Amino acid sequence: MGAQGAGGSAWYCWRPMFPSVDLTNFDLAPAAKSLRETGSAVRATVVHVASEATYTAVGISVLAYQRIQVQRREIERELRR
């Protein structure tokens, strides 16, 4: 069980017990492939959302410019009277 120390007292060497783990069939390739596919889907979604936001911003800008033009023409018409 243990060794005899000085003076005849028994002492024990304590070692932590770790469970045995078998990593012979551990493969990260499927997880990496899934992560790549998910990354591609996220990237496509981000590109889509960014392009839609750009189209919306351009559309709002065009509408604002047209409204300013209409107001300018109305002011010119008022000043001519």
What are the sequence ranges of the domains in the chain? 43-81
Provide the strand spans (E) within the chain.
3-4, 10-11
Residues forming beta bridges with residue 8, ordered by sequence position: none
Give this prediction's pTM: 0.51
pLDDT tens for residues 28-60?
888 888 888 888 888 899 999 999 999 999 999
Which pLDDT score is estimated for 65?
A: 96
Arithmetic mean of pLDDT, 62-75? 96
CA angle 75, 79, 81 (to 5 degrees): 125
